[in-house]
Amino acid sequence: MDSLFKALDDPTRRALLDALRRRDGQTLTDLEGDLAMSRFGVMKHLRVLEGASLIVTRKDGRFKYHYLNAAPLQELVDRWIEPLLAAPAARAILTLKSRLETDMAKPDFITQTYIRCTQDALWDALTDADAYARWDFLEQTAERQGDTVIYRTPDGTVTLHTKDVEVTPKTRLVTTFEPKWDDVTTPSRVVYLIEAQGDYCKLTVEHYDLNNDPEGGTADGWHRSLAGLKTYLETGTPAHFGGDHLWAEMES
């Protein structure tokens, strides 16, 4: 927590976070353009933010891209503010530290979490269609048909198709992401990376070619679902963060 408060206690670092909130995945050159500061000065501030897990970085060739991660801030909300408000919140995943290697183009969205569980348990939760309803934020069910998984809302409406593209058991899963709620015809891609770290697993999610996100709701959906995944695996209790609230909005 000390590193988080230190990172936020500076107007330049808050400005960098605001810049990433407006447009994620920026390079150092992009970010320094809006600041009256040397390149080296901006780099120092970015290192502080990364040390506090407020940003995650990914290198692609000679470029390094920076992504906002709100998980530490949401942890503060969950710990002190939300109990006072007693209101549903979009709980995000907790902690991050990025060391990613992939041959794909720059992702549109990246997030990470540490879950106290085995690789087997995490892999099963991600690939076993029957387990999906226990942690999806909308309480959807899933049906696997070979390498394709079909997702449905509680009333039976099909919302999403995914197809396994690359499967490396317990460590790497690449799937398509084919929403059925709009007219998008080109599927995007999702990469799940699992790394065992003692009693924990580090889970990284990368979303590429995201062409069906006009209102920016995909990131919130990931945060809610992965918060449910973490809670389910660590407690054994089904968890759905925000489903009732969103269903009320959709039905109104």
Q: Between 217-235 and 119-127, two packed helices, what is the crossing angle to 10 degrees?
A: 130
Contact 112, 202 (CB under 8 A): yes
In a shared domain, residues 220 and 125: yes
Q: Could you give phi then psi for residue 172, rounded to 5 degrees?
A: -150, 130
In a shared domain, residues 238 and 121: yes
Q: Structurally, how many domains does the chain consist of?
A: 2
Contact 194, 175 (CB under 8 A): no
Predicted confidence at residue 217, as pLDDT, reads: 73
Count the residues in the chain.
Answer: 252
The pLDDT tens digits of the residues spanning 34-83 come to 788 899 999 999 999 999 889 998 888 888 999 988 777 777 766 666 55
The angle at the Cα of 61, spanning 26 to 163, to the nearest 5 degrees, equals 80
Residue 80's identity, in one-letter code, is W
Evaluate whether residue 76 is within a structural domain.
no
Show the 3-state SS of 116-147: CCCHHHHHHHHHCHHHHHHCCCCCCEEEEECC
In a shared domain, residues 114 and 63: no
What predicted TM-score, i.e. pTM, was given to this entire model?
A: 0.59
The candidate with the shortest Cα–Cα distance to 103, out of 30, 194, 164, 174, is 174
In a shared domain, residues 138 and 203: yes
In a shared domain, residues 179 and 235: yes
Label residues 141-173 b or e (16+ Cβ within 10 Å = b): ebeeeeeebbbbbeeeeeebbbeeeeeeebeeb
Residues 6 or more apart from 180 whose CB is under 8 A from it?
Answer: 158, 159, 160, 161
Predicted confidence at residue 174, as pLDDT, reads: 94
21/214: higher pLDDT: 21
Evaluate whether residue 101 is within a structural domain.
no
Predicted confidence at residue 189, as pLDDT, reads: 92
Our measurement of the distance from residue 139's CA atom to the centroid of its chain's CA atoms, rounded to an integer in Å, reads 18
In a shared domain, residues 127 and 189: yes
In a shared domain, residues 144 and 231: yes
In a shared domain, residues 139 and 189: yes
- Average pLDDT estimate for 212-241: 83
In a shared domain, residues 143 and 229: yes
In a shared domain, residues 149 and 237: yes
118/21: higher pLDDT: 118
In a shared domain, residues 224 and 116: yes
CATH number at residue 115: 3.30.530.20
Evaluate whether residue 17 is within a structural domain.
yes
Sign of the C-alpha dihedral, residues 178, 182, 186, 189? negative
Predicted confidence at residue 242, as pLDDT, reads: 62
Evaluate whether residue 75 is within a structural domain.
no
CATH number at residue 9: 1.10.10.10
Host domain of residue 237: 109-251
